[in-house]
Structure 1
Amino acid sequence: MSLYSVMLVDDEEEVIQIIMKKLDWASMGFQIVGYAHNGAEALELAEECQPDVVMTDIKMPYMDGLELSRRLKERYPSIRIIIFSGFDEFEYAKEAIRIEVEEYILKPIDAGELQELFGRIKKSLDKEIDEKRNIDKLQEYYMESLPLLQENFFTSLFEGRVPAEEIDKYLVNYQIHLCGPLYLVTILHLSSSDVKAYSNPFLMTVSVKKLAEEQLVPKYGSRTLIYLGDIIVISQLETADQVAGYTDMMDEFCRQAKRVCGIRVTAGVGQLCSSVEELKLSYQGARNAVSYRALYGNNRAINIAEIEPKEKSEETWEEEALHRIMKQIRLGDKSALEGEVKDCLKKFTENGSSLQKYRLFVMELIAEIMRFGNKNQLDMEELFRKESDIYQMVFQPESFEELCEWLIGVGEKVQEMLSSERQNNTKSFVTRAVEYVRENYADQSISIETVCRTLGVSAAYFSTVFKKETGKTFIGYLTDYRMEAAEELLLTTDDKTYMIAEKVGYGDPNYFSYAFKKKYGVSPSKYRVEKMKVSG
């Protein structure tokens, strides 16, 4: 098994180095993934390295260990926290207990005590994973938690086989309590390559399902079932504003599933709906979202509402074929698109379909492409320059091969236009975030959450896009921008350091000086003096 990760936090470099050298971490099953010298810095670092254990001092500048522990527990409930301190005070210990830290130990730290402590933590972490993977317990849990009638009801609902007028009757008879008022469906798709590594893949699916219930049932009254190899989660929300937070929680869940169960999970989040009857539409949206893992990556949450408009469910084989072709256009796979077009047109000839039906399908495909293009702000006049070309291909094609080649060409052109538009949208998205920083960097309360509320997206989606486009995390970009603004103020004004700190968004002048020195290597005042000497 891989080593558990540990992050150290202390304002004294010597203490950190001593702790790192005191123990043979690897032999105990741990590795040091990073260290910080204050709580504020540690909070940023935790976002990057996602540690299993944090060992922190209490008395530190800018943010003490107790405040750091509170914030870490809020963001990462399963994290283990060890507080070490030179202060043997009851109030500190009482607060540590309230925060639910793993241990409170006093300096100087004894190597034997520390080794014993991490031995207990490792057993606790191992037990947590073993419980998730215990086949006997999982088998018993599965038999008890999936009543067949409830499962059949939901699968029939997703397939559109439950009459609307009978839904309430089934909910009562099968004791299914869905109060809403809003609902959405999430599909948890397990990486097939990860699942194959286990002797009983099905029970690994059950393991992830159990973990999902532990996380989601208390907060969202979620119901779960296994369907077509995936885990389906039906969640209840109070307001539409909760969707972004829900998506972020699912994104964190995917990382936890990888850490605890050893499985990469993609969470496809469907569109919000206001009735149980509409769950089938949210389910279809969630399935479409999962298919986007080829573009956005797995082991994360993908919200369909953030990447494409709603689409209706499909019924006939022609409509299914139309859906598959449009799916490949969206995903940008040219070879898959070519295969779908050829298979579809070939099926028309093999089935002996009428010429009228054949023409109708081609017209519907073109209409669907145009609707899709308009929704995504593509230039349809550029795509179909001559209406006569459409008429010629629908009603008077020279051959099957010619029509097939024309449709593939149209699809590939849409793929190229869509890729270009997505890049433009992403750049516009990042540009708005950058503009927000430039206009609000002096606001001390600015954070990823405030930016995401302004942009109307989840923090998980925002973080992925922003770092991909800029090469920096949002906090890293904000810090760099504030430092550049501070540098200019130092060289162009006579303002005191504490005044400049406030102007660039730092309420604590000491932490501002710390951050400035971390970037430029010297304090703000010394930086000003050195630059003035050079210019003088």
Structure 2
Amino acid sequence: MFKILVADDEDVIRKGIVTILKRELDSDICYLEAENGIEAHKLCKEHLPQIVITDIRMPFCDGLNLIKNIRENGYSPTFIILSGYADFEYAKSAITLGVKEYVLKPIKKQEFVSMVGAYVKSLTNEKHRIDEKLVRESENRKVTENVKQKLLRYLLDCPDSEEAKKYLSELYDLGIRFNENLLLSAMIQYQVTEENREFIDFAVKNIVDEVLTEDVSGNFLISVQYESGRIAAIFEGIKRESMLSLVKHELGKINSLIRKYLFVEVFTGVGDVVYGSMLLYKSFNLAAEALNFKLYRTGSNVQLFSDIPVSIKNEEEDLGRLIHPLENIRIAEIINVFEKLITLPPSIQSLSAVEKSYAQLIKTVDRQLNKYNSTGMKNIVQPVPFYELWSFLQMKQEIIRYLNQVYEIACQAKIDVSNKKLVVDVLQYVRENAAGDINLNIVAEKFGRTPAYMSALFKKGTGMGFNEYITNIRMNMAKQMLEDTGIPISEVSGLCGYLNPKYFSVAFKNVFGMSPAAYRQNSLQ
């Protein structure tokens, strides 16, 4: 809002000026009044009026001293001096202080209103012009920053030297120059949730830039918002070991601040040192590998690639035999394959074996799904990418969730068209009531069929007998509860439809090859 301060020790004159201006000028103006120079100075500091109309003679601090004091504070409103003295010396002093107008009392109302109105219009137009300029500059800065970030992402992902040269040239034109020193890339990953999605990237990048700019300004080049939930940072230096030590320390500090203020999981992978910007992508790729080492929960939240142990290459399991056909998919055996890989000593090779098996599983299943003609295929929720996993437990949960979807869809797709709706309804009913008192007679009665007819239909539609199907559902329920909750095993038994805990344990061991207690212990590792 536009503000005008009127300072005069004579109430009649001060209030008369305010009344006249309010009546004649734009209503969207705030008027401030001061009866002496000290009060006027205080109001100027608090409210920053655009125009100050002041009497030249006031108690405690006259108009000229008021103007001088205000200007010394770095604030320059438009000053209009009022005076009953046609004194040349006053006028000369006022001019040296930058006063715009020197008005003699008694004031000529119409001339005064026109003069003040002209200044209001001029200052308002100038403010609009400045605001528009600032908006344009801000938009230009945003566009430039977006272009920089995009080019940096391209550079980090680019193994082709000729293409990298092009990106480096364009970055140079935008003011980003890589000296041909040792370079190092790191990747910071943090959890993005529905609750923090709107602000988390902005908040983390601010923390990263503030800490690194302040603490390692000589070594820190730039940060890159690689994608939501992941920020890359690029460093330079002249000694490998000192670079790694410094970067690890500072990134640990950043991780602590993110945890403290944003309440999310965070982990950082640090690549190895390379010479020259053309090889920056290598350091970045190694940082991404180090980042995946978070699954091993080694205790540190910053992992240097150079510190990861090396072991012999592990043989890859053939998961295809456990998947084909999808309606006979062996989920428990697949999980056991991953259990073996997870329990291998942590190393680059062990991590690679887990990642490749995870990717192979999804690829093989997707290839098999293409053979099924079912509208339900498009509703299958894919597992999260490997780099988004935060623990091996989460990985197993993703696999089980995904394969259970696939299994249900595959079974439905195999059902004869003439009986498909009935079998789908039966399967849904059985799944919803599997934890209760349910048997083939109950299901047959529910759907108005004989037990023999229902048994034959069930076998034909699912490839399994009724009891085998019920057991499969209950065992999957048991696994989920054993992995995700602290419910006592005796209660898990009842919640899965087994009144006798001993019988439940025997049944569980027959399916998974270990007791419920052992399974829970393994899932917590």
Q: Provide TM-score, normalisation by structure 1.
A: 0.32
- Taking CA–CA contacts closer than 8 Å with sequence separation of 6 or more, which of the two structures ends up with the larger relative contact order? 1
